[in-house]
Each structure stands twice: as C-alpha cells, then as structure tokens.
Amino acid sequence: MEGLSQLDKYYEFNDDYIKAGGLIGLGLVNSGIKNEFDPVFGLVEEQLNTNSREIVKIGGVIGLSLTYAGSERDDIFELVSPLILDESFTSSLNATAALSLGLVFVGTCKEEVAESIVGQLMSKSAEELELPFAKLYALGLGLLYLGQQDKCDAIL
C-alpha cells in the first residue's frame, strides 16, 4: 500500500506523460499483489473510461497488464478489448491493448482474446502492418498461446 500512496501525486498532474508513467508505476508496484479493494483496476478504469488522451490510456493498459499478468480476469477483457477494436484510436493504443490482453491471458488460448486481436490484424493494410507497433499484435497472440503449441494451428 505504501507504493500506491507514493504514486498518488502523479495521477493529478496536467502532463499526460507523467500521468501515464504514474499508471505504469502503479502496475509495477502492485504486480502480483492481491487486494480486496482492487485499487489498480478502479484507478485505471477511471482513466480508460474518461476523455483521457491516448498516452494516458496506453499507460493505463500497460499498468493493468503488469498488475494482472496471468490472472485471466474477464473484467479486464471487457475493459480493454474495446480499445483493440476501436478504429478511432491510433494503432499504437490498439496494439498496446492487444499486448496487454496477451499478458493477462498468457497461455490460456482464450478464444475471445484471439478473435479480437486477429480481427484487428485482418483489418490492417500492408502499410499499417509495417509500423513498429504492429509487432505488438503478434506478441499479444504469442503470449496468449505460450506453451500451447498444439492449440495454435488455426491462428498460425
């Protein structure tokens, strides 16, 4: 809880990059920690559901993925999956959200997550797939099927 109180001041800054860094820090200090009040989810959900700039949303999904890596939480899927599919956001946010879900559902082969990521990949042009952030889609899929070689034939 001490780490949470140390990071509180960063969410109030007007600089979006500092706010995004605070959300990533929040994910780092709460990684693997179980808390009945679930403060990370509440703080990040607020940032993702408001009119925050995309850099803050990127910091939020990275923070979520660090905190809940391997947790297989469906509420995180419901919160983050629209960020993958929403064409009004940049591909950097879409791809970061895909990576985030790959971390949260690592090794699970969860069909809904795979469909979200593959659907977005299929909608991209060849030029868009050459952008640096496009590699995060593949990384998210790779994490989703980590250690499950026999179950990834359809995705391959």
For residue 82, what pLDDT band results from cuts at 50, 70 and 90? very high
Token couple for 134: 């496009």
**Rounded Cα gap, residues 145 and 82, in angstroms:** 21
User: So where are the chain's domains?
Assistant: 2-151
Q: What is the pLDDT of residue 149?
A: 77
| Residue whose entry in the numeric block shows the structure tokens 């593949």 | 138
Q: What is the pLDDT of residue 2?
A: 67
Question: What pTM did the predictor assign?
Answer: 0.89
pLDDT of 1 higher than 60? no
For residue 92, what pLDDT band results from cuts at 50, 70 and 90? very high
Q: What is the pLDDT of residue 137?
A: 93
Among the ranges given (25-39, 78-92, 99-113, 130-144), the one the predictor scored with the smallest mean pLDDT: 25-39
Higher pLDDT, 51 or 21: 21
- 2-151 is a CATH 1.25.10.10 domain: yes
What's the farthest any 2 CA atoms get from each other in the chain? 48
**What percent of the chain has a predicted confidence (pLDDT) above 70?**
94
Token couple for 22: 């605070």
**Mean pLDDT across 109-137:** 91
- The helix-helix angle for 39-49 and 16-29 (nearest 10°) equals 150
Does residue 112 contact residue 81 with C-beta atoms inside 8 Å? yes
Q: Is 114 exposed, middle or buried (0-12, 13-18, 19+ CB in 10 A)?
A: buried
Tell which residue, 49, 45, 95, has the closest CA to residue 67. Answer: 45
